[in-house]
Amino acid sequence: MNVFGSPNICTVGHICHYPRVLGGVSTYGVMRLAPDYENSKCIVLWGANPPGTAEGGLRVGQIFNAKEKGAKLIVVDPLLTAMAAKADLWLQLRPGTDCALALAMINVIINEELYDKEFVDKWVEGFDKLKEHVQQYTPESVEKITNVKADLIREAARLYATIKPACLYDGNAVDHQINSVQTTRALAILRALTGNIDIPGGDLIPTMIPTVDIRLMDRLPKDVKPVGDYPLMFQYRHLPAPAVIDAILTEKPYPIKAMIVQGGNLAVVLANVTKTREALQRLDLLVVMDLFMTRTAELADIVLPAATSFEKTGLTAYPAARTPFVLLEQKVIEPIGEAWPDWKFWFELGRKLGYKEEFVWEDVEEAIDEQIKPSGLTVDQLKKGPVFLPVTYKKYEEKGFNTPSKKVEFYSKLLEKYGYNPLPTYVEPPETPISKPDLAKRYPLMGVCWPRDVYVHTQHRNIPWLRMFEPEPSVRINPKDAEKRGIKDGDLVEASSPRGSIKVKAIITERVPEGLVAFVWGWGETDPEADLNRLTNDADRDPIAGSTSNKLFLCEIRKV
């Protein structure tokens, strides 16, 4: 897209991964750290649900093995999840108040002098400013914000700070907030404050292989600006998709007339999908590459059949929590019918547009060979099996951290440079009974997402065997809230918000606290009448990453 002259590469990164990337980069210069569960003596799961993730079997096993060896497990989650049920300490916070809770823990660790003084003295910038800043976040004041008892906040802070080594994993739920980057900053500071960065049993800095950057980012004309004002996201050529949706509808700062969608389903996954569908229908040209005729593909002018993972070769070089190795994903069959692998589409499109010198590779293996050449690896070598990367510790001792000061920056110079708050600060979510008391009179319940454990996002509901385990969309309701509304287990209910309404089945359970209702997300692809994102709010966004509150909104429920 840089060669094509477009700066508008939009993804769902604003609600998956990139807020945590920006939090890490602006604190210690590393995108994401990898928790070393196996060797840890204290594990914190913050807004994370390992059993429902792609790596669940491996990571859950590591966590429970560590517990059997005596490790403590702290879980931060508003819902009684499977991991919260197994925790030594469960902090059941009010949704969206994670940043306040983290700052209160920092307050306790600093004021009780439980922090790693040697690491802080040598490797931290801005400690005194942080110390002054967090004095306002006492456990007692934060108890009023989070509903977590002050004594529990102190207990969690003391456990995490005094039991070493400790690791902290912040999950995807943290990304779904309008204060997502500052929240992940506070969690990054907790890791550094306790000296748990890049030590056995702590949070490891991934070992990266040197590669050639084939994105040709310098080819994008200097005077071409993206439609959204998110400069830190744009450094990675990522733009929050809602910014593009806004530009399509308003034609500001300039019109967007065409879109190519690769393996995405915007008409289901973005907050306020009614608005998203309207935007997609306004385009002069919409092209969708996918395996299935998704809700987004149904709106397309052109649908291109994409190859499956079995029909294409690709490179996995994401050495973090998921894959501490470099792996060549080798195709096992040729693409069926007219299906093309993604790389072939882009290579051929580039050549058709006159960029033959930029797309010189005959196939993807040639491109991968060029990309990994600095590492000394080759495709032929990777065909024999994955190459595991060596595990080393305290890598920062060689050249420092990749920040302006070469230290961990509690006071972020990067964020200050771009006009953002250099210290993590709590912001009340935009749609709660506290921030919108008048709206809460009509919509008194807080809507959140129930952790998935059967399907992956919007996928796999077309598999009959899986439908046996979760056959239909649902919402979990506390017995007291259900009784007030005359709702019984199994009833069909209508949930409504200021954006729209959906119909789902009610499940009555005490695993959801009173005042909250938890929806199973992802059913919009199968049943548009049950698309949770008809209810969610896209208007309020994180100023740094553009994150929306996909997992927190005001709503009401009534029996149909």
Q: What proportion of the chain, given as a percentage, has pLDDT over 70?
A: 98
Query: CA nearest 537: which of 435, 424, 426?
Result: 435
* 3-state SS record for 480-517: HHHHHCCCCCCCEEEEECCCCEEEEEEEECCCCCCCEE
| Of residues 363, 302, 294, the one with CA closest to residue 335 | 363
CB 233 within 8 A of CB 13: yes
For residue 441 the two structure tokens come to 């009179």
Q: Angle at the Cα of 448 (from 442 to 450), degrees rounded to 5?
A: 140
* The pLDDT of residue 318: 59
* Tens-digit pLDDT profile for residues 418-449: 999 999 999 999 999 999 999 999 999 999 99
Mean of all residue pLDDT scores within the chain: 94
Confidence of residue 322 (pLDDT cuts 50, 70, 90): low
> What letter represents residue 238's amino acid?
H
Q: Provide the pLDDT for residue 54.
A: 63
Exposure string for 389-418, b = 16+ CB within 10 A, e = fewer: beeeeebbeeeebebebebbbbbbebbeee
Which candidate, 449, 455, 469, 471, places its Cα nearest to that of 532?
449
- pLDDT band of 236, cuts 50, 70, 90: confident
Residues 6 or more apart whose CB falls under 8 angstroms from that of 153 comprise 91, 101, 104, 105, 108, 139, 142, 143, 146
Domains within the chain, CATH numbers bracketed: 34-203 (3.40.228.10), 211-387 (3.40.50.740), 437-559 (2.40.40.20)
Cβ–Cβ under 8 Å, residues 239 and 496: no
Work out the average pLDDT over 343-372.
Answer: 94
Task: List, as one string, the DSSP characters of 347-379.
Answer: HHHHHHTT-TTTS--SSHHHHHHHHTGGGT--H
Residue 319 has pLDDT above 70, yes or no: no
Q: Find the mean pLDDT for residues 524-544.
A: 95
- With contact defined as beta carbons under 8 Å apart, do 401 and 26 qualify? no
Q: Look up the pTM and report it.
A: 0.96
Residue type, 344: K
Between the CA of residue 202 and those of 39, 155, 195, what are the distances in Å? 8, 20, 9
Say yes or no to pLDDT of 324 above 90: no
pLDDT, tens digit (0-9, with 9 covering 90-100), for 72-92: 999 999 999 999 999 999 999
User: Residue 264 has what pLDDT?
Assistant: 92
Here the tokens at position 166 are 């400790």
> How confident is the model over 469-511, as pLDDT tens digits?
999 999 999 999 999 999 999 999 999 999 999 999 999 999 9
pLDDT exceeds cutoff 70 at 279: yes
